[in-house]
């Protein structure tokens, strides 16, 4: 029952190379365990003169995307160009031409997933994208197959390896942010322009996709409150540690009473929580379902081979059903039709770090004003006095019980107007 | 495209109840996300008078298995009786009758998986068993779908919640084994007869299944070297902790040069390893593939609802393809056809705890005899003197570099014959 499956690949950057290499390494093993012989027969390569670090027979390269999108022998198109356009247009054309599509492109999916899923369904082909969230970790496959019998209540992800590497190094070695960032860039964990990573935009794209799979809602990265890691200082890391927490950039969403709350933000995670021990460039996704309870998936969220593993897993899954896609397998993984409603960031426990003048009555005033706004204090901790503009000052943190962020900001604004604080230096969610 | 799928269930103990409850809770959600309406229409219940703690319409119960195995309306049989027989016979009959089978029965699969997989394939139906290994954790689905593009190099599992609970409590609270076991029995984490758990037999069944999926080999639990946790003492836990390890009952297998080595044994796991922080009744599976690198899956390995989640995930997976099972989906998950060969326990680092007389020259003698056998010592640690039979004695541990266990035993026998040791109190693998 040997069957040759022909795939075309758009782009041969890091992930494309990893996908091609993984297939070269394991083509025989895949054939032995599935009966499927998969070949990448054509590759869109706009810079064929560039050294890709692997051997690809030159006749596989084309500079014309139509050679792949219009080739009747190609059943599966692997889109690895990245970016929203022209990737979206190419995927739409492939799907319309009756080809299933595998992509690692979180930006295009977060922007146009709904449109692409519809085209796939109309054309009775599949759109798969395991590699788009958490790289090699099989989280999307698990959510949409083995865990499908659950109603999910929450999902929390460390979805960006660059920021997790930076926070881990800052935390373990006390290295300042700028220095770790330079080191991460040198090691290839951070890009020359690190904005998309360190500002949380990459994680927001992935959270948008996860929320669609887990809760069936469409919340684009443009409406997901997103805070990056640039405001996290050594002082925050020390305070967190002293109170039993580690700081992680979390992409989180939870369902409560028909509403879905979710955002991307550096958060204090209790050291006993499985996510707290996910270090360096590793990713993890923690998910709770009403039957399965708590699960965590841990692994490499990036890198050519781990991402290639996920891309090829999707290719194999599609290839297995190419002869006749079951109508029930054609149900899109991306869903936007649930009755749940996205409602922003919601209520959380928060950590606030501020500087206050070293004066009698200041703490009492702040505490009582929090009280006026119905905000209860769990932890208050003051550090040895500093000097700010010639005045004795103290660094103080509060951890306050569940409150809406807008209400917290309102209270802090009022406290600021009373003149009892010098500065508010950071606000972070506490899990 | 709504479709009603009728399933029959054999047995309604803990897992059966959890499966039924999960479907009751989430039937609507499953329908909304897949278009499949699944109903458990008949249940084999040999003690209908027994209170199952849930409401099941009495007309669903039957005491005659033929009512399910021979019902042409039933497409999927869920086997949750447990034990090797009559479960194997019932599954074989269901498969022969053209029904797909979902089971949580690790003992029957470890004993008869090869036979059952063959019957399934001959009859063009599916045999699925996600719930048989690590309960709600979707490890088998991941290995056989999203991760299929990898050649796996190793797998390590904490696959038994009872023993992990006992070891965690012994370690965190210093509670003696017997007391924790009684506590675990009271909490429902351990059975009245805990043999299958504490002696490692349950974990060996699961390892046998994992090795078939990961390496394609058939190594039954009867040939897997298996050591339980009853020999683990507080002294071992302390020594391990002082040297940066936690003790976990690990089911492990690795591939080296065409041979697969694997066993079940309490092992010293470095505290920095993700498996070290898996506490109490939780399970975890750590797996390495040649593309995806290291992954860990963490969650509940037992309990009615988590196991029910896995059972229903398999039911949904089968139901999606009922109209026409793709030939490539019919490839059995259990494989016994690879060219790899099972070769027992292999070489490992080992921890050895012994009592020696407090006499000059004893340590030198032991160390040099290890050397004679080509065994290198990494750690040697001696504790405050004891008195054994009126003689001053010391407790000593060694951690030795990779050696075959048989060679280690040979060396220890020789050392024992020299009269320089009073007793060998424990030997454990070091990961």
pLDDT value for A279: 94
B25, B290, B323 member nearest A326 (Cβ) = B323
List all residues 6 or more positions away from A139 whose beta carbon is below 8 Å from its beta carbon.
Answer: A130, A133, A210, A285, A287, A297
Residues in chain A within 8 Å Cβ distance of B296: 296-299
**Contact between A219 and A257 (Cβ < 8 Å):** no
Q: Which pTM does this prediction carry?
A: 0.95
User: CB–CB of A62/A68 below 8 Å?
Assistant: yes
In angstroms, the CA B107 to CA B113 distance is 9
Task: Please give, rounded to a whole number of angstroms, the shortest distance from the CA of B286 to a CA of chain A.
Answer: 9
Contacts of B54 in chain A (CB under 8 A): none
- Average pLDDT (B148-172) is 96
Kindly identify which residue of chain A lies nearest to residue B135, measuring between CA atoms.
Answer: A292
> Using the beta-carbon criterion (under 8 Å), do B138 and A142 form an inter-chain contact?
yes
Confidence class for position A48, pLDDT limits 50, 70, 90: confident
pLDDT digits (tens, 9 = 90+) for B57-84: 999 999 999 999 999 999 999 999 999 9
Is residue B191 scored above 90 in pLDDT? no
From chain A, the residues in CB contact with B338 under 8 A are: 32
Q: Which of A141, A290, A300 sits opposite B145 (nearest CB)?
A: A141
Of A29, A34, A136, the CB nearest to B151: A29
Substitution target from B39, B150, B300 for chain A, most A beta carbons within 10 A: B150
- Chain B: closest CA distance from residue A230 (Å): 27
- Averaged pLDDT score across all residues of chain B: 94
Q: Could you tell me the two tokens for B108?
A: 């029957």
Distance separating alpha carbons of residues B329 and B320, to the nearest angstrom: 12
Residue of B nearest to A307 (CA): B292
Of A149, A295, A331, the CB nearest to B313: A149
Q: Does A14 score more than 70 pLDDT?
A: yes
Of A214, A205, A211, A225, the residue nearest A265 (C-alpha) = A225
What's the token pair of residue B165?
């609970």
Tell me which chain B residue has its CA closest to the CA of residue A278: B274
B26, B290, B292 ranked by CB distance to A151: nearest: B26
Chain A partners of B3 at a C-beta cutoff of 8 Å?
Answer: 328
CA atoms of B216 and B208, how far apart (whole Å):
10
Can you tell me the distance from the alpha carbon of A237 to that of A172, in angstroms, rounded to the nearest whole number? Answer: 10
In Å, how far is B302's CA from the nearest CA of chain A?
10
Evaluate if residue A1 carries a pLDDT over 60.
Answer: no
Q: Convert the pLDDT of each residue in B90-106 to its tens digit.
A: 999 999 999 999 999 99
**In chain B, what residues touch A323 (CB-CB under 8 Å)?**
326-327
Burial class (CB in 10 A: 0-12, 13-18, 19+), A321: buried
The pLDDT, as a whole number, for residue A324 is 62
Record: contact B145-A329, CB cut-off 8 A = no
Q: Which residue has the higher pLDDT, B48 or B177?
A: B177
| A chain contacts of residue B317, beta-carbon cutoff 8 Å | 145-146
Instruction: Provide the pLDDT confidence category of residue A322 given band limits of 50, 70 and 90.
Output: confident
Do B299 and A292 count as a contact with CB atoms less than 8 A apart? yes
Mean pLDDT of B337-343: 93
To the nearest whole percent, how much of chain A has pLDDT over 70? Answer: 98
Chain B residues lying within 8 Å of A136, measured CB to CB: 291-293, 295
Provide the percentage of residues in chain B whose pLDDT is more than 70: 98
pLDDT of residue A326: 65
Q: Is the pLDDT of residue B1 over 60?
A: no
Output the pLDDT for position A327: 66
- Shortest CA distance to A331 belongs to which of B201, B102, B30? B30
Q: Cβ contact (<8 Å) for B316 and A141? A: no
pLDDT for res A351? 97
The alpha carbon of residue B95 is apart from the nearest alpha carbon of chain A, in Å, by 21
Q: Could you confirm whether A206 is annotated as catalytic?
A: yes
Q: Check CB contact under 8 Å for B25 and A295.
A: no
- What is the DSSP track for A44-66? E-S-TTS--SS---GGGEES-TH
Helices A161-173 and A234-242, packing angle to 10 deg: 70
Q: Do B35 and A327 touch (CB under 8 A)?
A: yes
Crossing angle for the helix pair A201-215 and A106-122, to the nearest 10 degrees: 30
Mutation target vs B (from A28, A328, A338; most B CBs, 10 A cutoff):
A328
pLDDT digits (tens, 9 = 90+) for A125-143: 999 999 999 999 999 999 9
> Do A18 and B291 lie within an 8 Å CB cutoff?
yes
Min mean pLDDT across A170-174, A289-293, A381-385 is at A381-385
d(CA B224, CA B362): 36
Pick from B17, B106, B44: which is nearest to B303 by CA? Answer: B17
Render pLDDT for A377-418 as a digit per residue (tens, 0 to 9).
999 998 867 777 788 899 999 999 999 999 999 999 999 999
Peptide bond into A86 cis (omega under 30): yes
Contact A150 B320 (CB under 8 A): no
What are the tens digits of pLDDT across the range B253-310?
A: 999 999 999 999 999 999 999 999 999 999 999 999 999 999 999 999 999 999 999 9
Which pLDDT value is given to residue B53?
87
Residue of A nearest to B338 (CA): A32
Which residue among A25, A145, A324 places its CB closest to the CB of B317? Answer: A145
Cα dihedral across residues B354, B360, B362, B367: positive or negative: positive
What's the pLDDT score for residue A2? 65
Q: What is the mean pLDDT of residues A23-46?
A: 95
Q: Which helix (DSSP H) or strand (DSSP E) does residue A250 occupy?
A: strand A245-256
List of chain B residues whose C-beta atoms are within 8 Å of the C-beta of residue A146: 130, 138, 141-142, 310, 313-314, 317
Tokens at A415, concatenated: 């406290």
Nearest CA distance, A395 vs chain B (angstrom): 33
Helix (H, G, I), strand (E, B) or coil at B415: helix
Cβ–Cβ pairs < 8 A, chains A and B = 224
Residue with tokens 């940066």: B244
Q: Find the catalytic residue in B106, B206, B248, B349.
A: B206
CB A203 within 8 A of CB A301: no
pLDDT tens for A208-257 read: 999 999 999 999 999 999 999 999 999 999 999 999 999 999 999 999 99
Token pair 């507080």 is found at B234
Residue A344, Cβ density class (10 Å: 0-12 exposed, 13-18 middle, ≥19 buried): middle
The shortest CB-CB distance from A292 to any of B136, B296, B326 is to B136
Rounded Cα distance, A151 and A429, in Å: 25
What are the chain A neighbours of B22 within 8 Å (beta carbons)? 149-150, 291
Of A206, A248, A254, A349, which one is the catalytic site residue? A206
Q: What is the pLDDT of residue A308?
A: 97
| pLDDT for res B404 | 95
Give the pLDDT confidence of A335-360 residue by residue, as tens digits: 998 999 999 999 999 999 999 998 88
**Strand pairing class (B61-62; B76-79):** unpaired
Contact A148, B34 (CB under 8 A): yes
Confidence of residue B329 (pLDDT cuts 50, 70, 90): confident
Read off the pLDDT of residues B16-41 as tens digits, 9 standing for 90 and up. 999 999 999 999 999 999 989 999 99
pLDDT tens digit sequence for B225-265: 999 999 999 999 999 999 999 999 999 999 999 999 999 99
């Amino acid at each position: 029952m040997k069957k040759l499956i022909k795939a075309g690949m758009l782009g041969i950057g890091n992930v494309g190379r990893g996908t091609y290499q993984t297939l070269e390494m394991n083509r025989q093993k895949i054939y032995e365990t599935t009966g499927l012989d998969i070949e990448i027969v054509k590759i869109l390569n706009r810079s064929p003169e560039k050294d890709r670090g692997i051997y690809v027979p030159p006749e596989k390269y084309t500079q014309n995307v139509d050679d792949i999108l219009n080739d009747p022998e190609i059943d599966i198109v692997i889109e690895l160009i990245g970016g929203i356009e022209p990737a979206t247009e190419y995927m739409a054309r492939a799907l319309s031409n009756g080809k299933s599509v595998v992509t690692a492109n979180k930006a295009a999916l977060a922007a146009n997933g709904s449109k692409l899923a519809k085209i796939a369904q109309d054309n009775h082909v599949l759109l798969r994208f395991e590699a788009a969230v958490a790289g090699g970790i099989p989280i999307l496959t698990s959510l949409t197959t083995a865990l499908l019998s659950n109603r999910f209540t929450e999902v929390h992800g460390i979805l960006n390896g660059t920021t997790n590497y930076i926070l881990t190094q800052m935390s373990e070695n006390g290295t300042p942010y700028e220095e770790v960032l330079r080191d991460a860039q040198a090691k290839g964990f951070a890009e020359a322009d690190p904005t998309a990573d360190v500002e949380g935009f990459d994680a927001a794209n992935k959270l948008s996709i996860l929320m669609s799979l887990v809760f069936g809602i469409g919340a684009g990265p443009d409406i997901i409150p997103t805070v990056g890691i640039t405001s996290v200082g050594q002082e925050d890391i020390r305070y967190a540690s002293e109170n039993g927490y580690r700081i992680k950039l979390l992409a989180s969403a939870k369902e409560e009473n028909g509403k879905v709350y979710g955002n991307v933000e550096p958060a204090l995670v209790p050291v006993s929580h499985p996510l707290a021990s996910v270090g360096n460039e590793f990713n993890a996704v923690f998910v709770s379902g009403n039957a399965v309870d708590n699960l965590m998936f841990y692994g490499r969220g990036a890198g050519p081979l781990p991402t290639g593993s996920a891309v090829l897993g999707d290719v194999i899954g599609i290839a297995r059903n190419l002869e006749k896609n079951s109508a029930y397998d054609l149900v899109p993984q991306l869903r936007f039709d649930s009755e749940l409603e996205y409602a922003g960031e919601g209520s959380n426990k928060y950590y606030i770090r501020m500087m206050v003048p070293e004066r009698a009555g200041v703490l009492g005033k702040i505490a009582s004003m929090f009280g006026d706004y119905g905000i209860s204090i769990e932890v208050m901790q003051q550090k040895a006095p500093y000097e700010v503009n010639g005045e004795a000052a103290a660094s103080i943190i509060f951890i306050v019980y569940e409150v809406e962020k807008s209400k917290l900001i309102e209270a802090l604004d009022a406290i600021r107007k009373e003149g009892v604080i010098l500065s508010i230096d950071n606000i972070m969610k506490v899990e």
